[in-house]
């Protein structure tokens, strides 16, 4: 029986941005996280992502992020959490948004199943909404890589937060990416299909 391959939309986006040489290692790392039984391994950034969701609905967003920073106890967490706080809070304040619920869905890209659940749902002061994938790693996000996450959000938005604008937020740098109207969607879809096929091959090779 062929092993099914299922990862989050953000993990797939990180794979695309990792470059040819880094892809086998990043898939091996992700495979060990997804198939591992130890939640200690896969939950490194969870306290900050949870704090970001709470902050969007809090009268004191700083307190939510500060509490997460104080809770950092694993190797590397304190510096990472502080950088995320310094990038995320000014961005959140600049949006003047409040949180709204988002749903989860799945999207098939060939033999790869992508689990899609925006980390944040936001309602802006003008009433518009945004579905946000929050990228938290140290390597800066690029527009090219963000386009992959944005397209996946775009293709699934009716199931997660209908009518919302897709965003990919590089939280450490407080930079939100959105899809340019000039983006060639046909070429982007072809890229995603090719990268999904590559991901499945790398996943099964790393078994």
Confirm whether 115 is domain-assigned.
Answer: yes
Domain of residue 28 covers 5-42+96-205
For residue 114, the cross-strand partners are 7, 107
Confirm whether 199 is domain-assigned.
Answer: yes
What is the percent of the chain with per-residue pLDDT over 70, rounded to a whole number?
A: 90
Domains: count for the chain: 1
What is the percent of the chain with per-residue pLDDT over 90, rounded to a whole number?
A: 73
Is the pLDDT at 205 greater than 90? The verdict is: no
Is the pLDDT at 44 greater than 90? The verdict is: no
Measured in residues, the chain has a length of 207
> For residue 107, what pLDDT is reported?
96
Give the confidence band of 207 by pLDDT, cuts at 50, 70, 90.
low
Confirm whether 180 is domain-assigned.
Answer: yes
> For residue 103, what pLDDT is reported?
97
Is the pLDDT at 41 greater than 50? The verdict is: no
The answer for residues whose C-beta is within 8 angstroms of residue 121's C-beta and 6 or more apart is: 99, 100, 101, 102, 129, 130, 131, 132, 160, 161, 164
Q: Which two tokens stand for residue 131?
A: 């579905």
Give the confidence band of 64 by pLDDT, cuts at 50, 70, 90.
very high
Confirm whether 107 is domain-assigned.
Answer: yes
> For residue 37, what pLDDT is reported?
46
> For residue 2, what pLDDT is reported?
62
For residue 5, the cross-strand partners are 112
Confirm whether 179 is domain-assigned.
Answer: yes
**pTM of the predicted structure, to 2 decimals:** 0.90
> For residue 4, what pLDDT is reported?
79
The answer for residues whose C-beta is within 8 angstroms of residue 39's C-beta and 6 or more apart is: none
| Mean pLDDT computed over every residue of the chain | 90
Phi-psi region of 110 (alpha: psi -120 to 50; beta: other; left: phi over 0): left
Distance from C-alpha of 23 to C-alpha of 51, rounded to nearest angstrom? 30
Cα–chain center distance at 79: 20
Q: What is the pLDDT of residues 87-128, one digit of tens each?
A: 999 999 999 999 999 999 999 999 999 999 999 999 999 999
Distance from C-alpha of 27 to C-alpha of 38, rounded to nearest angstrom? 18
User: Which of 40-49, 150-159, 175-184 is the least confident region?
Assistant: 40-49
Confirm whether 88 is domain-assigned.
Answer: no
């Amino acid at each position: 029986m062929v092993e099914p391959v299922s990862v989050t939309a953000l993990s797939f986006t990180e794979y695309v941005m990792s470059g040819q040489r880094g892809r086998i290692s990043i898939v091996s790392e992700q495979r060990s996280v997804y198939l591992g039984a130890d939640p200690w391994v896969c939950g490194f950034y969870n306290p900050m992502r949870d704090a970001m969701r709470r902050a969007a609905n809090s009268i004191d967003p700083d307190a939510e992020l500060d509490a997460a920073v104080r809770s950092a106890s694993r190797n590397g967490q304190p510096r990472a959490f502080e950088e995320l706080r310094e990038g995320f809070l000014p961005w959140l304040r600049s949006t003047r948004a409040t949180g709204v619920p988002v749903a989860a869905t799945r999207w098939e890209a060939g033999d790869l199943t992508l689990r899609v659940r925006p980390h944040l749902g936001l309602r802006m002061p003008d009433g518009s909404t945004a579905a946000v994938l929050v990228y938290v790693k140290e390597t800066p996000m690029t527009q090219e890589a963000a386009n992959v996450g944005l397209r996946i959000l775009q293709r699934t938005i009716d199931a997660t937060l209908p009518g919302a604008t897709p965003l990919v937020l590089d939280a450490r740098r407080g930079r939100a990416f959105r899809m340019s109207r000039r983006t060639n969607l046909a070429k982007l879809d072809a890229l995603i299909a090719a990268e999904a096929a590559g991901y499945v091959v790398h996943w099964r090779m790393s078994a």
